[in-house]
């Protein structure tokens, strides 16, 4: 069963930033490539086809519902999988510091 994948406002802002950075690096072709790759990830996420793991930054806080998938190009997709949908709360590079950002995003979502 495929569930719809929704983006929080914060994740939508992250997507805008990804797109702008890709466009600045490589123009429309690079930005389109980034969007296409993300679309594949989100589609597979909704279908339950991706390997995911808990977020170590939040495990100590007792937040277990948040999961992450790290793409092969080093992007982190943080989400909550629910019975009827998947809610993406963060899209960011793996090397970014996450703890305070994740706490704020997950509590706001």
Q: What is the CATH number of the domain that holds 16?
A: 3.30.2310.20
* CA–CA separation, 83 and 39 (whole Å): 21
Residue-range definition of the domain harbouring residue 84: 5-108
35-72 pLDDT, tens digit each: 999 999 999 999 989 888 888 777 777 877 889 999 88
**C-alpha distances in Å from residue 54, one per residue of 5, 21, 44, 62, 77:** 18, 27, 18, 11, 11
More confident residue, 101 or 33: 33
Residue 63 is predicted with a pLDDT of 78
Q: What is the pTM of this model?
A: 0.82
Total tally of structural domains belonging to the chain: 1
């Amino acid at each position: 069963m495929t569930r719809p994948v929704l983006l929080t406002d914060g994740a939508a802002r992250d997507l805008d930033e990804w797109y702008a950075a890709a466009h600045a690096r490589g123009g429309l072709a690079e930005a389109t490539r980034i969007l296409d790759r993300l679309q594949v990830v989100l589609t597979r996420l909704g279908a339950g086809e991706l390997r995911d793991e808990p977020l170590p930054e939040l495990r100590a806080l007792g937040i277990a519902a948040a999961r992450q998938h790290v793409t092969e190009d080093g992007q982190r997709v943080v989400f909550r999988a629910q019975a009827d949908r998947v809610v993406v709360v963060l899209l960011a590079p793996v090397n970014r510091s996450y703890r305070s950002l994740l706490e704020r995003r997950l509590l706001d979502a």
